[in-house]
Amino acid sequence: MKNHHPIQIKSEKVAIWFVAPALIVTSAVILIPFLYNLVISFSDMNLVTFYRWNMIGFTNYSDILFDSGFWYLLFKTVLWTGLNLFVLVSGGIFLAVLLNQKIPGSIFFKILFILPWVVPQYLTALVWKGIFNYESGSVNTFLLKLNLDPVMWLGSEWGSFWATLVTNVWLSLPFMIVVVLAGLQTIPKNLYEAAELDGAGFWFMFRRITLPLLKPVLIPAIILSGIWTFNNLNVIWLVTDGGFPSDQSHILVSWVYKAGLSSFRIGYAAAYGIIIMLVLLFFSWQYIKKSKTLETIFE
Q: What CATH class has 59-298?
A: mainly alpha
Sign of CA dihedral 278, 284, 287, 289: negative
Q: Is the pLDDT of residue 8 over 60?
A: no
In terms of pLDDT, which residue wins out, 222 or 247?
222
CA distance 294 to 216: 9
pLDDT of residue 297: 42
pLDDT digits (tens, 9 = 90+) for 103-144: 777 788 888 888 888 888 888 898 999 999 888 899 999 999
pLDDT of residue 4: 53
pLDDT band at 5 (very low <50, low <70, confident <90, very high): low
Task: Name beta bridge partners: 43.
Answer: 55
**171 exposed, middle or buried (CB, 10 Å; 0-12, 13-18, 19+)?**
buried
Kindly report the pTM of this predicted structure: 0.85
Q: What is the 3-state secondary structure (H, E, C) of 167-223?
A: HHHHHHHHHHHHHHHHHHHCCCHHHHHHHHHCCCCHHHHHHHHHHHHHHHHHHHHHH
* pLDDT tens column, 168-203: 999 999 999 999 998 998 888 888 888 888 888 888
Say if residues 234 and 30 touch (Cβ distance below 8 Å): no
pLDDT at 45 (0 to 100): 92
Residue 70 has pLDDT above 80, yes or no: yes
Q: Rounded CA gap, 217 and 80, in Å?
A: 23
Q: In sequence order, which residues have a C-beta less than 8 Å from that of residue 116 and are 6 or more positions away?
A: 124, 170, 171, 173, 174
Mean pLDDT confidence for 140-155: 89
